[in-house]
Chain A
């Protein structure tokens, strides 16, 4: 287990380093960030002054090492647009994004497990077909369009729910449903296929033979054995949800990281883009690591391999 842990940890750190280096290179290769900060008519002195302020006058290796030194603390300087450290801007908005992602994730988990289990137990029934049709729609619908349609139906025509901003649980409903749809379909499909495998196993026949009720067989015996791959996918999806949150936040004017990073991208506010990308990369890598370790702890075949 110790060797496995060290190996996984090393590859996680490598991945974070690689993304950080990629981000550093892209910004330097595609033009001088100092020019972007200046107005159309700038003098040579202006350029020198701004470059010195941003540290762009140092040798590339020094810049790179300073950049890498910022990775552990996610400190990449002040925002170009706002007179504030980029890290402050980002951490202010992180809770809103996490709240949205957790709500959507919870919704997807709570709905997909019974839906997938029932689809498997009643294979080729109307319930099964309905569930797989809805899962497929969840895949084919762009998340930003789904969000907009929900706004039109529930905000514009029915006027049941607020369509933008945050503050109450009512504000959370439409964004959370929007963000939950894609993972909901994914989870349902996986729960269904894992349950089908589990239901075909001998121990399920034994459980039936000794007279257990269908509910007990389905949820106590089969579901437990189907859980491992499902938990893995769910864990990995949480990181992807953070990516989807970027789009969802844009539609619903949700005051999180997503809107910040999109606006920063369009304005080329590199410190903010770097901070968000590196922060989410670290969060994502940490979740992947935890999922893998949990899996290894639960399944001896993996840590011994």
Chain B
């Protein structure tokens, strides 16, 4: 195989994934300036309009309107913000908690390690969705409660993998050297161990972002996510369910937005993983 083909094979997924994801990021960032209509604007006379290219389509509404006459395209663009904001916050909080506890477990060892690993086993022992439902039964649906349940189910991945990495790193010569030179634990962790963990954390975070976008949309679809007034892809698909017999577009386009976004991030994650550590199980 020529080197050009090998290069393409190695990096094609990264390029495609990056392009798909960049487009979503741009939409989310620019949503307020590029949407044709405010996402909450209702036009009761223009309800359930099909997409612009269909027979009864309206050129002002490219992807049609929903049951309240709201512009579907505008809501999908704003939905990108909801998705990325919630899933992104979830990844960050879960990452912060998981990495910190993973370092504690791996570096300190002993009782802290034992307790933390038991806790990880417990969370991993049950389907994440079930755990999320049990938690959401007690909290009012909001962006914060969704981020909360994503954190509770998501920190374990970082904790488990970071702990394993630390156990390996602890055997390295540079750790002995830092100690020999009088470096504190704090200095060792922040300046020497953490930088070594960054690539792995990046891989986990990317793959988890895709998973969290799916999870957020599923919770919103079930009515357990953000309140209905906030445009979210899962919530839109939920609202459109009563109209599937005469308005297929309400269900179709928000789902395509999810598939687009998750595919992009997923490809990016697979590519990163193969570059950094193909055997990493996330």
Contacts from A to B (Cβ < 8 Å): 11-12, 14-15, 18-19, 22-23, 26-27, 29-31, 136-137, 139-145, 148-149, 151-152, 156, 239-240, 242-244, 246-247, 250-251, 261-262, 264-266, 268, 270, 273, 277, 280-281, 284-285, 288
Contacts and interface: CB of A to CB of B under 8 A. Distances in A.
Contact of B221 (A26, A30, A247): A247
Interface in B159-203: none
A142 B127 contact: no
Given A26-B134, A268-B137, A270-B137, A284 B234 contact: no
Nearest to A264: B137
A247 B251 contact: no
Interface stretch (B24-32, B47-55, B97-105, B241-249): B241-249
Contacts of B135: 26
B86 to A, nearest CB: 15
Interface of B: 118-119, 121-122, 125-131, 133-139, 210, 214, 217-218, 221-224, 234, 237, 241, 244-245, 248, 251-252, 254-255, 258-259, 262-263, 266
Nearest to A246: B129
A90 to B, nearest CB: 14
B224 A266 contact: yes
B120 to A, nearest CB: 11
A265 B137 CA distance: 5
Contacts of A140: 210, 258-259, 262-263, 266
A152 B127 contact: no
A19 B123 CA distance: 8
A156 B248 contact: yes
Contacts of B136: 265
A144 B237 contact: yes
B170 to A, nearest CB: 22
Given A18-B122, A29-B138, A144-B221, A243 B234 contact: no
Given A136-B263, A148-B237, A19 B251 contact: no
A237 to B, nearest CB: 10
A31 B138 CA distance: 8
Contacts of B252: 149, 152
Nearest to B265: A140
15 contacts: A26-B135, A142-B221, A142-B255, A142-B259, A142-B262, A144-B217, A144-B218, A144-B237, A152-B244, A242-B127, A250-B222, A262-B223, A266-B223, A280-B126, A280-B130
Contact of B137 (A148, A151, A273, A281): A273
Contacts of A141: 255, 258-259, 262
Contacts of B266: 136, 139-140
A26 B138 contact: yes
Given A145-B237, A152-B248, A247-B218, A19 B223 contact: no
A22 B134 contact: yes
